[in-house]
């Protein structure tokens, strides 16, 4: 990230999850109620597992916010893991090792590669952090960024397009129910829309300044996401250029487009249209009917390990997608319009929008 920096810490069954969000201007009115509502959304959706019955995530602001407003310093957020009470011995930061080691790595998870990379004899040292429980703090940080973006006239929304190859509420529920009976899991595809973004965020000059690349990286970093497209990305590859590119029109001095196949990005920059990002989530790798694997301790064939898991977590992934879109967009806004105080950011943004409208009809 550039102007906004975000880092999180904490394990799935540790005492708590934390994150530090730095770079937001002072003067943003922040509500824990909104952040908690976003956290609750992450825990919802059809096909979720037993962990959601234990946790009821609520954020605590530890720094950077005073009397409901950001003050310009790093914002520290914390969420307590209620399940910690059942894991204190096995996840203790000090003392001797307690509990059986996890040695049967799950296919499709970070287990085997992570254990090899970090020279860990217990796969739990890997799975605790690679767990999607980590996304709790992404959603918390993204919620704060959403509040900032709303003050800038920018909104983020999302929807589920399909699950397990089907769409429609009844079909989706049947697909998930069938997978659960088999001890299996299903993935899906979701779409995120960012509205109200001005043209010109990002850059065409250097590869690491391109905003479409930053969005792609952010979405690919979400657990179980295996493909990302901007606009009609994959479909556009099958068409002629005349069927793909969004023609530019003008009416009464205002430039507009009748289509948005590019998904709001051209040349690594926003073009003034809604940003459209779609992501494909693979089925969760923890199966109640485990796949074949190898025990890293004995080097013998065995069944993969089972952690408490979901049949489908696409609704959670969509909420995380909104959060990542918020973080990337907020970073682009602060990078371009600066301002240590929100009033300065909004003034710069207002002047920029007026210049685009006056000089280019955008």
What ranges make up the beta strands (E) of 283-330?
292-294, 301-303
Is the pTM higher than 0.85? The answer reads yes
In a domain, 270, yes or no: yes
pLDDT in tens, 118-150: 999 999 999 999 999 999 999 999 999 999 999
In a domain, 362, yes or no: no
Residues spanned by the domain of 39: 5-356
In a domain, 94, yes or no: yes
d(CA 359, CA 145): 30
In a domain, 14, yes or no: yes
Query: What DSSP assignment string belongs to 290-341?
Result: PPEEEBTTT--EEEPP--S--S--HHHHHHHHHHHHHHHHHHHHHHHH--SB
Query: How far is C-alpha 136 from the chain's CA centre?
Result: 9
Give the residue carrying structure tokens 């995120």: 192
pLDDT in tens, 225-248: 999 999 999 999 999 999 999 999
Residues 6+ positions from 200 with CB-CB distance below 8 Å: 269, 270, 336, 352, 356
Range in 3-7, 37-41, 75-79 with the lowest mean pLDDT = 3-7
Please give the pLDDT value at position 276. Answer: 98
- CATH assignment of the domain containing 35: 3.60.150.10
d(CA 61, CA 140): 10
β-strand partners of 188: 163, 281
In a domain, 352, yes or no: yes
- Diameter over CA atoms, the chain: 75
Two structure tokens written together for 43: 């825990």
In the chain, the number of structural domains is 1
CB 332 within 8 A of CB 324: no
Please give the pLDDT value at position 2. Answer: 60
In a domain, 361, yes or no: no
In a domain, 84, yes or no: yes
Two structure tokens written together for 141: 């940080």
């Amino acid at each position: 990230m550039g102007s906004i920096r975000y880092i999180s810490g904490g394990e799935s069954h540790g005492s708590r999850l934390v994150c530090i969000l730095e770079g937001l201007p002072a003067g943003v009115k922040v509500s824990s109620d909104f952040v908690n509502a976003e956290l609750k959304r992450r825990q919802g959706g059809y096909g979720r597992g037993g962990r959601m019955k234990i946790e009821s995530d609520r954020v605590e602001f530890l720094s950077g916010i005073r009397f409901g407003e950001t003050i310009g310093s790093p914002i520290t957020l914390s969420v307590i893991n209620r399940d910690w009470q059942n894991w204190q011995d096995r996840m203790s930061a000090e003392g001797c090792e307690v509990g059986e080691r996890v040695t049967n790595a799950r296919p499709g998870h970070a287990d085997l590669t992570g254990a090899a990379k970090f020279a860990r004899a217990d796969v739990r040292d890997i799975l605790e952090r690679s767990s999607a429980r980590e996304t709790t703090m992404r959603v918390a940080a993204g919620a704060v960024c959403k509040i900032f973006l709303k003050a800038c006239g920018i909104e983020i929304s999302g929807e589920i397009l399909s699950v397990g190859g089907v769409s429609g509420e009844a079909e989706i529920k049947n697909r998930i129910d069938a997978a659960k009976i088999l001890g299996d899991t299903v993935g899906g595809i979701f779409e995120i829309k960012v509205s109200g973004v001005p043209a010109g965020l990002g850059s065409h000059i250097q590869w690491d300044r391109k905003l479409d690349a930053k969005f792609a990286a952010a979405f690919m970093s979400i657990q179980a996401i295996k493909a990302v497209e901007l606009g009609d990305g994959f479909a556009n590859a099958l068409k002629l250029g005349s069927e793909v590119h969004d023609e530019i029109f003008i009416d009464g001095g205002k430039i507009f487009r009748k289509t948005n196949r590019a998904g709001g990005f051209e040349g690594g920059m926003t073009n003034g249209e809604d940003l459209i990002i779609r992501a494909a989530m693979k089925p969760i790798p923890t199966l109640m009917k485990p796949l074949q694997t190898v025990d890293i301790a004995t080097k013998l064939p065995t069944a993969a390990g089972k952690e408490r898991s979901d049949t489908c977590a696409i609704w959670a992934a969509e909420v995380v997608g909104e959060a990542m879109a918020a973080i990337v967009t907020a970073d682009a806004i602060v990078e371009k319009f600066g301002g240590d105080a929100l009033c300065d950011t909004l003034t710069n943004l207002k002047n920029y929008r007026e210049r685009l409208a006056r000089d280019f009809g955008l």
